[in-house]
Chains A and B, each alone.
Chain A
Amino acid sequence: MFKDNIGGDVSAIYLTESKLLLSASRDVPNFVNNVTPYGTTIASLNSELGLKRMHFRGNSGFKGGVFLLDSSSVLKDEDSVYEANEANQGGVIYVINESEFEILRGSFVNNRAQEGAVVYAMYNEIERALKFSQCSF
């Protein structure tokens, strides 16, 4: 569990040209109240993220309350919960520069942002780059 961590740019995990695989039980929050004033909880540059049954609650950042996906990063997520996360842009995900995500059976509850309560996206022009399937918002 990542809980109550404070970062400058990244409060939990930073990836550059790397791969991150996480799985857990979504019944118990596993990323909780991580805070960064300038960045995000998990930042990815040209990296791959594979997540299953995660629960992100109460995380906050500036660009992406949970994820910042940059420079051709790819996120694949199944059966995760995103609850009460917050950012200036992208309450859950800030995605930029030909990055992609595919979220299957995600649950998004009470996430907030000044722009894009769930997603704030720029320059991701691959067809169907940002994909939600069987999700609730």
Chain B
Amino acid sequence: MQLMSSQAFVEHSTFQDNAATAMNHGITMITSKTEIYNSTVTFSEGFSDRINLSKVDCGFFSLILGSTLVLGSETRIERLKALN
């Protein structure tokens, strides 16, 4: 997801094995706000070994220019991998 001057809300959801070839596997925000509750972001075991990470800077969340991220209860971020 790429958000510019926008507001997003995610609940009771799962992000599994979402892989980008550049920048960021997940949500990039520019002057935006995202709230996430009761959700899971994960790579399966061994998934990151099979993808090209050479141009991926960020595992899942990239916040730019006054963005806000709210991670609420029961939200798990696990096993993600990026270059930096």
Binding site for B on A (CB under 8 A): 89-90, 95, 115-137
Interface of B is mostly: strand
Q: How many A-B residue pairs have CB under 8 A?
A: 76
- Closest-by-CB residue of A relative to B37 is A133
CB pair B13–A123 under 8 Å, yes or no, is: no
Count of chain B residues near A, Cβ 8 A = 20
Instruction: Kindly state whether residue B78 has any CB partner on chain A within 8 Å.
Output: no
Residue B5 lies at the interface, judged by CB distance under 8 Å to chain A? yes
Contact A137-B18, Cβ < 8 Å, known A129-B7, A130-B9, A131-B8: yes
Cross-chain contact B9 with A131 (CB below 8 angstroms)? yes
Of the A-B pairs whose beta carbons lie under 8 Å apart in the complex, a sample of 8, sorted by A's number, is A119-B2, A121-B4, A130-B3, A132-B11, A133-B11, A135-B13, A136-B15, A137-B18
Please give me the 10 A-B residue pairs with the lowest Cβ-Cβ distance, nearest first: A116-B2, A128-B9, A121-B6, A130-B8, A124-B6, A135-B13, A119-B1, A137-B15, A122-B4, A134-B12
